[in-house]
Amino acid sequence: MSKIQRTPPGNKGLQISSESDITNLDPEIPLNYLSKRMKRSRNDDHSTSEENIPRDELLSLLTQWKKEQDKVIDKLFLDIAELKKQNACIQSSSSEVEKSMQFLSKQYDELKNKLLEMEQERMENKRYISSLESQIDDMQKRLKFTVVEVRNLPVAPAAVQQNRQETQQDLTDLMLKTCGALNVDISTSDIKDIYRIKNKIGSSVVVTELNSVITKNKILNGVKDYNKINPHNKLSSSSVGLAGSCVPIYVTESLTNKDRKLFGQARDTAKTLGYRFCWTSRGRIYMRLADGSPRLQIKTEADLRGLKNNA
């Protein structure tokens, strides 16, 4: 390891001293001997070039970016303006649609109220018509309370022999002769009106209007008793004493058109379901399944449907 050697003390060799304050130096002494600190000189042009080139590029990039952003912003402004315009149109259309919907809703409510009123009026008219039909049917039934109908009764022999049209007197004589075969005592004065009509199937019906319900019931009960006593020789043209082929004679009470239709349906239903009895009394229709079973009154077609459904 080397050792640093120091100047021995007391050595009076040459010493160089310097004045710390240069203002005290002798002006005659040149300052050439003063040393200068050596510094590297700065190349201003080179430094400027190195600093300015990235700055220009950055400025160019920023300028280009700004232009692109301006384009985007301008496009956004245009789109927003277009959206505002569309929104205004939509709001206007929506307002018109809302007004139209309100108008249609008002019209719908008015039509609905009118329909409800018409439906209520229709139901009232329907009830009123039903009431009128019921009243008319009751009146027709009352008019027929004293009427009997005789089916298959041949033409009066006197009219056939004399080759003339049958008169009310001929029909009255036939009716009296028929009642005589039934042991029912009636007279000409008991007959209010009598006439013959032809039905759709070609046969005829003698309609006899009597003066009382009592007389009508006497005739109907007489027919029932006669057929019960003579089950193998029921009332016919032969039993009445009329010449010609023997044809059965049916005597029934007269029914309204509505009840006649219902009675025909009731008879068909009775045959289908095995009901033994089906008859009318005072314009009412009845059915009975067998002897001793309760009778059922048939008022409407719904009653017949109920019997079929429960069978």
Rounded CA separation 274/289 (Å): 7
Q: Going along the chain, which residue ranges are E strands? A: 147-151, 191-198, 204-210, 250-253, 277-281, 284-288, 295-298
Rounded CA separation 33/201 (Å): 167
| Tens-binned pLDDT, residue by residue, of the chain (311 aa) | 444 455 555 544 444 444 454 455 555 555 454 444 555 555 554 444 445 557 778 888 888 888 888 888 888 888 888 888 888 888 888 888 888 888 888 989 999 999 999 999 999 999 999 999 889 888 888 888 899 999 988 888 888 888 889 999 999 999 999 999 999 999 999 999 999 998 776 678 999 999 999 999 999 999 999 999 998 899 999 988 888 888 999 999 999 888 989 999 999 999 999 999 998 888 889 999 998 899 999 988 999 999 998 87
Q: Give the pLDDT confidence score for residue 24 in this predicted structure.
A: 52
* DSSP letter (8 states) at residue 27: T
Rounded CA separation 163/187 (Å): 27
CATH of 144-254, one of 3.30.70.330, 3.40.50.720, 3.30.56.10, 3.30.9.10: 3.30.70.330
DSSP of 78-92 = HHHHHHHHHHHHHHH
| Helix 257-273 × helix 301-310 angle, to 10° | 10
The Cβ-side half-sphere exposure at 31, using a 13 Å CA radius, reads 8
- What's the Cα-to-Cα distance from 160 to each of 56, 178, 196, 239, rounded to whole Å? 142, 18, 15, 19
Token representation of residue 36: 């200068």
Q: How far does the chain reach from its first CA to its final CA, in angstroms?
A: 142
CA-CA-CA-CA dihedral for 181, 187, 192, 196, to nearest 10: 30
Q: pTM surpassing 0.75? A: no
Token representation of residue 94: 């929506």
What is the chain's percent helix, strand, coil content, to nearest 5?
55, 15, 30
Distance of CA 228 to the CA centre of its chain: 57
Secondary structure (3-state) at 236: strand
Rounded CA separation 139/283 (Å): 11
